[in-house]
Structure 1
Amino acid sequence: MISSLSSHWHYVWLVIASSIAGVMNAMAGGGSFLSFPAMLSMGVAPIQANATNTVALWPGQLTSVAALRGDLRRDLLPVVCAASILGGVSGAVVLLKTRQITFLHMVPWLLLVASLLFGISGPVSQWLRRRSAEPHIKRAPAVWGVFLALLPVCFYIGYFGAGAGFLIMSALALFGVEEMNALNSLKVLAACLSNLCAVITFVFSGAVIWHYCLISMIFAGVGGYVGAQYARRMNANVLRMIVVSTGCLMAAYFFWRNG
């Protein structure tokens, strides 16, 4: 009886966490800080939980690419796609070859680092906006520089992924992409492609727990739709603080649990 009630509450938590994750991703990002721990709470092994969570949240990224396709820099599509595919596949493969206990001990560190990355994304984004508004001598982006800078970021996305968005934008800006809309659209494309490669790898390797994945996917989609309606009304700094606080709390919990 107690075991049955506990199982039901875990399902309720998965639904709630997935819905909130969808809202967070639509407004600011960082939904994995909730949905990934919720997968672990279902008793799913750490690597399968990460794979299942990645598959569940990916459709929301696809809709973002569709919305921003008009801002994409066509000249950079081949290099961004190549780095995303190579990085995403290699990150996913390395994840699947990682021992469960090793990944479990990495989880709090991954959550903490991702939270800190997300926290500094605000100042970096402001710097990128100021930079894009300033007059610049137009120069062609350094293609090989873009590729080499994006590759490790896309590897990280394939392996874990949370908090990587502004790293993509920073890498692109450092090597000559200056317009803010182009930076944002290429960021979404790189993240979506890297995660797509991870999704395909996880699906064909049998690492996805489908009944949990479909529950999370449906409710994350509902949450994403709701979040999109209110995204423009919320203060970005408040949203970022909520996301970072959530990530740090989850990291603290796993540090405690692993200890």
Structure 2
Amino acid sequence: MNLSAIPHLHFIWLVAASAIAGVMNAMAGGGSFISFPAMLGMGVPPVEANATNTVALWPGQLASLAALHRDVRRDLLPIVGFTCVIGGVTGAETLLHTEQKTFLHMIPWLILGGTLLFGISGPVSRWLRRRAAYHTGERSIPPFQLMLALFPVCFYIGYFGAGGGFLVMTILALFGMDDMHRLNAMKVFAALASNFCAIVTFILKGAIIWHYCLASMVFAAAGGWFGAKFAKRVPGHILRGVVVVTGCVIAGYFFWRQAHTA
């Protein structure tokens, strides 16, 4: 069967990839590994594809936070939110000032880097659980030190983002947050806030391809809500393995394409 003969095949894959990305972001992260290449497949230039993909996935993150809001540490919201504003805007501005060709060459390295983060997330998650077994209660976190540690992560989320949520979890754990549900909720909040600031920047600069964005947005939101509801029912190591394999395959494809188009 010739798949290229199917009408609107790329668009069908775009909306399917958006739904899958929404589920993945809610349950473990890494949804951009699926949705960003699908956006590129529509013929959107790399920088605009990344900006459009960021906007499209944001409602899914909002739906996930709505499902996880009870686990958010409200005492950390002001400092984390402030850092997300600064980092998200700075990262988005840097992206918009990156040449299309330069960003295209960076894509496989960015995806591979995000994949490696997921590759080490298993051992780190087990370390977090061991910490949780020996600590009880919530400890205070120094705000200035937390802001300095989170800023480069929020910058990265505003610039590209894949794997950034896991970095947020790791940093918060190093500062003493032990509860996995709280870590996951704060991960979603930080990604949501950083991406929102990036989105405002992208919209003001006219970097969004809206007819693809809106279609992708609806399915990503549905996937985000579904994924958040069922996040505790799927073994984490299974989903993490799927994310890592997917990221490696996609990064390998972009490396191969660059080698054959150079």
8 Å contact from structure 1 (residues 124, 166) kept in 2: no
Residue 148 of structure 1 corresponds to 148
Residues of 1 paired with 2:87 and 2:125: CA distance? Answer: 23
Cα gap change, 1:209/1:140 in structure 2, threshold over 3 Å: closer, same or farther?
same
| Counterpart residue number, 1:75 | 75
Matched pairs, number: 257
TM-score, reference length from structure 1: 0.91
Look up the SS of the partner of 2:120 in the other structure.
helix
One-letter code aligned to 2:216: S
Contact 2:64 2:227 in 1 (8 A): no
Residues 64 and 228 in structure 2, CA contact (< 8 A), matched pair in contact too: no
Measured in 1, the distance between the counterparts of 2:178 and 2:232 equals 24
State how far apart, in whole Å, the 1-side matches of 2:74 and 2:19 are.
34
| Aligned AA (1:38) | A
Check the 8 A contact 2:67/2:228 in 1, yes or no. no
Query: Is the 2:138–2:177 contact (alpha carbons within 8 Å) kept by the matching residues of 1?
Result: no
SS of alignment partner, residue 190 of structure 1: helix
Q: Which amino acid aligns with 1:66?
A: A
Instruction: Judge conservation of contact 2:64–2:225 (CA < 8 Å) in 1.
Output: no
Which TM-score applies when normalising by structure 2? 0.90
Counterparts of 1:1-259 in structure 2 under 5 Å? 8-135=8-135, 139-228=139-228, 230-259=230-259
Relative distance call for 1:214 and 1:28 in structure 2 (3 A) is same
Indicate how the Cα distance of structure 1 residues 135 and 20 shifts in structure 2: closer, same or farther if over 3 A, else same: closer
Q: Is the 8 A contact 1:56 1:216 kept in 2?
A: yes
User: Using a 3 Å threshold, how does the CA distance of structure 1 residues 17 and 182 change in structure 2: closer, same or farther?
Assistant: closer
Q: Match of 1:65, SS?
A: helix
List per-residue Cα deviations over 1:31-64 (Å, max 9, x = no partner). 1111100110111000000000000000111122
After TM superposition, the structure 1 stretch with the greater mean CA deviation from structure 2, 215-224 or 81-90, is 215-224
Secondary structure of 1:208's match? Answer: coil
Q: How far apart, in 2, do the equivalents of 1:190 and 1:30 lie?
A: 15
User: Equivalent pairs: percent with the same residue?
Assistant: 63
CA distance in 2, matches of 1:76, 1:232: 24
**Is the partner of 1:165 in helix, strand or coil?**
helix
What is the one-letter code of the residue matched to 2:101?
A: I
Q: Deviations over 1:168-218 (max 9, x none)?
A: 122122223334333332222111100110111111111000000011112
Q: 1:233 to 1:176 in 2, by over 3 A?
A: closer
Where does structure 1 lack aligned partners over 5 or more consecutive residues?
A: none
Give me the whole-angstrom Cα distance separating, in 1, the residues matched to 2:135 and 2:231.
30
Q: Tell me how far apart the structure 1 counterparts of residues 5 and 137 of structure 2 sit (CA, whole Å).
A: 64
Taking the aligned partners of 2:254 and 2:64, their CA distance within structure 1 comes to 31
Q: Which runs of 4+ in 1 moved over 6 A?
A: none
Distance 1:197 1:7, change over 3 A: farther
**Worse-matched range after superposition: 109-118 or 137-146:** 137-146
CA deviations 1:10-35 (Å, max 9, x no partner) are 21221222232233234332111111
Worse-superposed segment, 67-76 or 55-64: 67-76
Relative to structure 1, the CA distance from residue 114 to residue 99 in structure 2 (aligned partners, 3 Å threshold; closer, same or farther) is same
**Residues 222/141 of structure 1: CA separation in 2 closer, same or farther (3 Å cut):** closer
Q: Give yes or no for contact 2:32–2:162 (8 Å, CA) kept in 1.
A: yes
For residue 224 of structure 1, report the CA deviation from its aligned partner.
Answer: 3.6
